[in-house]
Chain A
C-alpha cells in the first residue's frame, strides 16, 4: 500500500498532537530548537513526506549521474579508500623515514607536508626562513631534496600527494624531472598536487603573487598535466582550509565550488574543452563533528558538481561529472585537555567520511593540539582507519544511508543552499572579484567568531574544555621533537646544488622564464622543468618572478 504525501503528513501531524504532545507534558525536550553544527534547523524526525523535493533520479545509483551515492559503481567493495596520512618534517631524508614507516604500517598513499619556507617560496637560507626550516613540514629547495624525499619509493605503485600551493608548479616540475630520471612513463603516474591558490587568498593565506598571475600558474599546471600526465590530478580544490579557518560546513562546500567554477572558466578560456581536463579535477574536504550533516554535505557536493559540470560547462563525459575527494578529519576540533579523547573524535569523523564516500582519508593524530604528530600518534590514526575498513563491515554496502529520510532531505537542503550561494557569488561578480573584496574572508571570520562565543557559552559542547572538565592531570605527552641540526643540514645541500649551477645556463633560463611569464598565451611548466633540471633552487624562480609580478598583501578583515 502506498500512502500519499498528504496522508503521511496528516499522520505526522496526528502523532505530534498525540504521542509527542503527551510525552512533552511529562518531559520537555532538552532544547526548544535543534540545529546542525552549520546552523541548519533539524526536525524531530523525518518521514517520506520530507523527500517530496528530492526526485528519485537525484538520489540515483553509485557511479551514475548525478553521482549522489558515490563516484564509482562498486566503491569500497573493490578497494577501500586510500589511507593517506600526511607527513613531513626535517629534510627529505628525515621525512623519507616517516614515509617508509607509514607504508610498513599499511598506509596505501603518501601525502607530503612542506615547511613554511617551501610553501611560501623561500630557500632555506633566506632570512625569512630562520627558525622555520623543516619545522612544520619537510624542507625542499631543489631537485636533490625531492630525490632524498622519495628515495626507494616506487611511484608507479604508490600515489604521492604534494600538499603545496603558491609554489606548486615548481614542486610538480621537480616531481616530473625525478620521474623522468627514474624512467617512469608520465602518463602512468598517478598522484596529486594541491595547487588550489584561490582558497589560499580566502583561508589558508599562503600566497606570493597577486591573484591574476597566481591563477594563471594554476591554469598552466592543469593544461600541462591534461596533455602530458593523463592520470595525474593537477589540482586538489580544497574546502578543508576554508573550514579550518572557521567557516561553516555549508560555506566550505559552496565556496569550494565557487573556486571550481573560477578555475574551469580560466582553463576553458585557453580553448581547452572541459572534458579534456575535468576528469582529473580532484577535491579535498574536511569531515567535522556533525555526523549526518557531513555525510549530507559530501553527497550534496557530488550532486552539485555533477550538475555544474553538465549544465553550466557542457561536459559530455560522465568522468567530468563525478566528484572524487580526499578527506581529513577536523584538526580544529582537537583539544589539549584530555588529549587521548581526540582518538575518539577522529574515529567518529573518519566514519562519517567513509559513509560519505571519500576516496582517500587522513585521520589526525591525538597530539596535534600540541605539535606536529609523532610516529605513535600516526600509527593510532592509521589503525583507526584500518578498523573502519576491516572490522566494521561498513564497506560492504555502498552509500548505506541512501534513502534515509533525514540524510536525503538534508542532502537536498544542502544542494539548494549551495546553489543559492553560488547564485549570489555569480550576481556579485564571481569568486575572484569577491576574494579581492574580502567577501569570503568576512563570512569565514564571522562564523569563526560565532564558534568561539558558542564554545565559551557552552552552546557548542567541547568535551574536556567546557564539558566534563577533569582536574586530574593528563598523562605526560611526548611531542614530536625538532632536530636543531635540520637547517644546517638542509642549507649545506642547497649551497652544494647552487655551487654546481652553470651561471650562463641559469641566466639564460631565468630570462626565458621572465619572457614566458610576461606572455600569458604561453605555459610556464616547460621552462620550469628545464630550470629544475639545471639545478635551479625554488628561490631562484620565485624571486625572478617577483620582479615582474610583485608580492600580494591582503587587507585583513575581522
Chain B
C-alpha cells in the first residue's frame, strides 16, 4: 500500500486571510492526504522547521498580503542552509502575474490562485509527488 501524501499548509506573516488555506486543507484531506495546518502568523523559520520535523512531501504557503517576494526567498534560503532538496514548495493566494512567474523561477512548483478549482489542486499536487518519485 502506498503512503498517503503528507502536506504541511501554513500562513506566514501577519496576514489573517485564511479562507483559501482552509478550503485547500479540507480538499486535500478529503482526497486522502495527510494534512497539517499550522494556523496563522507563522515565521519562515517555524514553517521550514515544522516541514522537516513532520517529514512532509509538500509545503504549501498561503499569502494574501503581498509579501510573497519577501517570504519565499527566505524559505528557499533556509531550506538550502539545512540541506533539504526534496521538499516540494507550493504557493497559494492573491498575487500579480509577474510575481507568479518570479516564484516559479525561484523554485515554487505550483501557484494556486483564487480561481483554481479544488480538484485541480489535488491533481497537480499528486502529479508533483509522482514526478519526484519515492524518497
**What residues make up the interface of A, taking CB atoms closer than 8 Å to B?**
116-117, 119-120, 122, 128-132, 135-136, 200, 204-206, 244-246, 332, 335-337, 369-372, 445, 448-449, 452-453, 455-456, 462, 465, 479, 482, 553-558
Contact = CB atoms under 8 A, between A and B. Distances in A.
A456 B37 contact: no
A556 B14 contact: no
Given A445-B22, A482-B66, A556-B22, A131 B13 contact: yes
B96 A452 contact: no
A132 B67 contact: yes
B115 interface: yes
Contacts of A244: 19
B14 A117 contact: yes
Interface string B10-49: 0001111111001101110100000001011101000000
B113 interface: yes
A336 B115 contact: yes
Contacts of B4: none
A554 B117 CA distance: 27
Q: Which 9 A-B pairs have the closest CB atoms?
A: A205-B16, A131-B70, A116-B14, A558-B22, A456-B117, A131-B67, A558-B25, A120-B14, A556-B39
A206 B13 CA distance: 12
Interface of B: 13-19, 22-23, 25-27, 29, 37, 39-41, 43, 65-67, 69-71, 94-97, 113-115, 117-119
Contacts of A456: 117-119
Contact of B27 (A132, A204, A452): A452
Given A371-B66, A452-B27, A452-B118, A554 B40 contact: yes
**Which of B13, B25, B71, B118 gathers the greatest number of chain A CB atoms within 10 Å?**
B13
A132 B97 contact: no
Nearest to A119: B14
Contacts of B96: 370-371, 479
Query: Chain B binding site: helix, strand, loop or mixed by DSSP?
Result: loop
Contact of A206 (B16, B67, B119): B16
B117 A455 contact: yes
Contacts of B25: 558
Nearest to A482: B66
A452 B119 contact: no
A557 to B, nearest CB: 8
A132 B14 contact: yes
A203 to B, nearest CB: 9
B13 A448 contact: no
A194 to B, nearest CB: 14
Contact of B19 (A130, A246, A337): A246
B22 A370 contact: no
A128 B14 contact: yes
Given A205-B16, A336-B114, A479-B96, A449 B26 contact: yes
A135 B65 contact: yes
B22 A465 contact: no
A558 B9 CA distance: 12
A558 B71 CA distance: 24
B21 to A, nearest CB: 8
Contacts of B16: 200, 204-206
